[in-house]
Structure 1
Amino acid sequence: MVVVAAAIVAYRLRFDTWLPTAGYRVVIGTTLLYAVICFSAFPLYRSWRGRGLLRECMVLGLAWTGVFALFAVHALIVQMGQYVSRAWLGTWYVGGFAALVLSRTLLRNCLNMLRSTGLDVQRVVVIGLRTPVFKLQKYLLRNSWVGLQIVGYFQSRYDMVPSAASSRLPCLGISAPEELERYLQENTVEQVWISMPLGDRDRIKSLLQVLDRFPITVKLVPDLFDFGLLNQQGEQIGNVPVINLRQGGVDRDNYFVVAKALQDKLVAVAALLVLWPLLLAIAIGVKLSSPGPVFFRQKRHGLGGREFHMLKFRSMYVHQEGQVEVKQATRGDARITRFGAFLRRTSLDELPQIFNVLGGSMSIVGPRPHAAQHNSHYEKLINHYMQRHYVKPGITGWAQVNGFRGETPELRTMKKRVQYDLDYIRRWSLWLDCKIIVLTAFRVLGQKTAY
């Protein structure tokens, strides 16, 4: 309904009438069919209980763009394009997306208001009181709009000492099958979460046998926090359930690779069109500052740990890099030219990496690629260091806008930088990328920690 309404409003704005002609009705019908296909392919018709609005809007935007991309191909094949107003299509695209976002936002707000008053709230019983349950309880208490309420727990021999937040949970008894069955018969419960070690298979199976008699949702809440998780997620391959313990954004979300690639290419092309005079001026300055090539090419590890050659404007005198020694640039480094010092201080030496982005080996935003020697050195000293390579390296990153850029003379500084890199991979969104790009202009350019 929203899609059709947006099309009619756009038609009214373009042609000053509410009734589309037969040809435009065919276009609306065709696009509506593609909307059903795209909205089904993207996870828009699943329950978004407990998921963020911004994330839903990004998926919606990609699906809506896919609708018009499919229609564009269709129009090209049947030669329909010359009979359809592009102004109308553009108005429909923009207005339709705004209407879809508005409708979902209003629906969410209505549901959130109902859930905050206790309506449409699913009651949850937990079996076992361990670290994941504490985290879930804390989250649900802060976010009543999720619509889930843990009403109590059944004790198990693996329980931890309740914290202040979780002490509000009433104990409903011990995790004996007969006690669980009695409680479910006397109370209304929509979900049961089992938080017990997978090694206790016999106890879990006995509980599941009881739960077979009740048509309620059953979830397993494993304690995996000490496994070095990164974007953990459950899925099914064939008929086998699988838990992904570590994965990058490309594997985590089916829209990640599309959104990230589009963002990279658009920003890189726009930057190249705007900055080409500056690139030319810097190239001339590098050539005049000292003998040698304009660009410095160095092997770095990218996505999946694969090697690529990263480009920079040369900022040092030509020298032979040692094969074993790990040596970063330092304050007053004699290898750096005067013009090179200016480039490094202002981060202008990084601009040629726009070509890396266009070539697909880098992104605009991502963990900064370290020299291959540095990777070999630090992967032995810092836990989960190589997880940085689950995504493409970036020209700028979350660590850089938080002050971790340039020389890292202490191991703890590099550890902090890696923590920010992994945090970026976990939290990735288009909004976060835009935020980092803006912050780069204000915080990184001219930062004094780069030599």
Structure 2
Amino acid sequence: MLLADLSSATYTTSSPRLLSKYSAAADLVLRVFDLTMVVVSGLVAYRIVFGSWVPAAPYRVAIATTLLYSVICFALFPLYRSWRGRGLLSELLVLGGAFGGVFALFAVHALIVQVGEQVSRGWIGLWFVGGLASLVAARTVLRGFLNHLRTQGVDVQRVVVVGLRHPVMKINHYLSRNPWVGMNLVGYFRTPYDIAVTEQRQSLPCLGEPDALIDYLKDNQVEQVWISLPLGERDHIKQLLQRLDRYPINVKLVPDLFDFGLLNQSGEQIGNVPVINLRQGGVDRDNYFVVAKALQDKILAVIALMGLWPLMAAIAVGVKMSSPGPVFFRQRRHGLGGREFYMFKFRSMRVHDDHGTTIQQATKNDTRITRFGAFLRRSSLDELPQIFNVLGGSMSIVGPRPHAAQHNTHYEKLINHYMQRHYVKPGITGWAQVNGFRGETPELRTMKKRIQYDLDYIRRWSLWLDIRIIVLTAVRVLGQKTAY
């Protein structure tokens, strides 16, 4: 996400120079195309199921009804907003939500009027899958085409900045490496609050003092003005906005919040008041991801339990034979929101008292670990009972590994933003683990690095990242030498 999206624009209007004479027509074409794909996918599904392109009367009514619901849902969802600077996955998730809403309405309609007695359920299912696949494919191709045009300099928005501060430098670096975003920072107007930048790092030309901004806008095509002044310079920001009142041009505020320990920052409006979210976990960031991740966790946990229960039963026998004591090891950990829960493992150590406040991680040649337990820890098989934690809702398949409660008490005083890792559910495996930070952390810098990976995971959280971590866990982590 661009840092310019941290807050709602302090002042914004539509820029005539920004609106291409073809944009309204393109929007209409896209809307008509989406609705056409809904109808065509229904006809194709009918052809596959019944061998004819001419549907019977009940099917024609079903297609017409679904078309009406599509008009409603596609209008309610932000499908036709500008996706400039946002990932394809975000757009496809909104598309999937809109199309899912269409068929949810159709399902309710079908129950009320008993459509199921008149049309084939197989046709409905094939229509849904085919329609969604065709819409996703079309949007993917369209996004690729637009990205290609923007890398060639077509449909690129020109931006000038008042003030040169760290967020602007970061954005400029990002845009220079990602031309598909379609934004070009053409220069900045210097202020007394600018950061010192060496000539070697200076990539933005200085366009003069802020007094020259209006004349520059008169003589040059600019789509956006960004204001990058300290938050305390409220009067200066107001003066700039007053001078820009005569120009219907988009204005954005780019606040310098790097020292605030941001996590998944974003902007929203509550009661028409702009609000900046400085820290929020993945649970609060995007409802699409929350639902999808919850489904992913439950489905994978059930599949894993069905496939691994014979192995888990054999391990349970091995644990009982290795030393006296219970099969499972249960320990208090902190989970989502810092709430405590009990995490389960196959017991790999001889029974001992671990209820004190002393921090003692497992170490190499640890005498507490049984021979069978050492094998379980090296192969990560001792973690398998955490499948029950996932099914119970206290853990996810992927997330920051839960630390012992004593470790949290210790490290939260030593590592900045340590507790931010509890913005999401802990996981059986995580981003830190597949990057080599698994097992003992004898040095503080090692734990700091692990926490950096945990917070990076929360910032980058997506289903694709989860899948990548699961695959990397099988490739890198199992049998890793740092576990003992």
Q: Measure the CA separation in 1 of the matches of 2:261 and 2:442.
A: 26
> 1:3 offset after TM fit, Å?
1.9
Query: Aligned to 2:276, which of 229, 240, 243?
Result: 243
Query: Aligned to 2:192, which of 140, 150, 157?
Result: 157
Contact 1:123–1:188 (CA under 8 A) maintained in structure 2: yes
Q: Give the corresponding residue for 2:448.
A: 415
What amino acid is the match of 1:45? Y
TM-score by length of 2: 0.88
Question: Which moves more between the two structures, 206-215 or 273-282?
Answer: 273-282
Q: Deviations over 1:360-384 (max 9, x none)?
A: 1110000000000000011111111
Contact 2:289–2:463 (CA under 8 A) maintained in structure 1: no
> 1:36 offset after TM fit, Å?
4.6
Contact 1:134–1:163 (CA under 8 A) maintained in structure 2: no
Q: Give the corresponding residue for 1:271.
A: 304
Q: Give the corresponding residue for 1:102.
A: 137
What amino acid is the match of 2:333? R
> 1:74 offset after TM fit, Å?
4.2
Map 1:325-340 → 2, pairs under 5 A: 325-340=358-373
Matching of residue 313 in structure 1 with residue 346 in structure 2? yes
Map 1:44-443 → 2, pairs under 5 A: 44-162=79-197, 167-176=202-211, 179-443=212-476
Matching of residue 3 in structure 1 with residue 38 in structure 2? yes
Q: Measure the CA separation in 2 of the matches of 1:13 and 1:254.
A: 35
Q: Measure the CA separation in 2 of the matches of 1:59 and 1:315.
A: 46
> 1:114 offset after TM fit, Å?
2.8
Q: Give the corresponding residue for 1:22.
A: 57
> 1:11 offset after TM fit, Å?
1.6
Q: Give the corresponding residue for 2:3.
A: none
SS state of the match for residue 231, structure 2?
coil
> 1:311 offset after TM fit, Å?
1.0
Q: Give the corresponding residue for 2:22.
A: none
Question: Which moves more between the two structures, 435-444 or 251-260?
Answer: 251-260
Q: Measure the CA separation in 1 of the matches of 2:234 and 2:64.
A: 53
Q: Deviations over 1:133-153 (max 9, x none)?
A: 111112222222211111221
Q: Aligned residues, how many?
A: 449
CA 1:70 to 1:281, structure 2 compared with 1: closer, same or farther past 3 Å?
farther
Q: Measure the CA separation in 1 of the matches of 2:130 and 2:199.
A: 48
Q: Measure the CA separation in 2 of the matches of 1:166 and 1:93.
A: 52
Q: Measure the CA separation in 2 of the matches of 1:59 and 1:270.
A: 28
Q: Measure the CA separation in 2 of the matches of 1:59 and 1:90.
A: 20
CA 1:106 to 1:305, structure 2 compared with 1: closer, same or farther past 3 Å?
same
* Aligned-CA RMSD value: 1.9
Q: Measure the CA separation in 2 of the matches of 1:37 and 1:226.
A: 44
> 1:35 offset after TM fit, Å?
4.0
> 1:66 offset after TM fit, Å?
4.6
CA 1:346 to 1:168, structure 2 compared with 1: closer, same or farther past 3 Å?
closer
SS state of the match for residue 218, structure 1?
strand
What amino acid is the match of 1:114? L
SS state of the match for residue 44, structure 1?
coil
SS state of the match for residue 225, structure 2?
strand
SS state of the match for residue 300, structure 1?
strand
Q: Measure the CA separation in 1 of the matches of 2:53 and 2:332.
A: 61
Q: Measure the CA separation in 1 of the matches of 2:62 and 2:321.
A: 59
Which of the pair has the greater relative contact order for Cα pairs under 8 Å at 6+ separation? Answer: 2
What amino acid is the match of 2:57? A
Give structure 1 stretches of 5+ with no counterpart: none
Percent identity between the aligned chains?
Answer: 75
Q: Deviations over 1:140-183 (max 9, x none)?
A: 2222221111122111111123456863423222012xx22222
Matching of residue 448 in structure 1 with residue 448 in structure 2? no
Q: Measure the CA separation in 1 of the matches of 2:401 and 2:105.
A: 36
Q: Deviations over 1:89-115 (max 9, x none)?
A: 332233222211221122223322332
Give structure 2 stretches of 5+ with no counterpart: 1-35
Contact 2:66–2:103 (CA under 8 A) maintained in structure 1: yes
CA 1:145 to 1:76, structure 2 compared with 1: closer, same or farther past 3 Å?
same
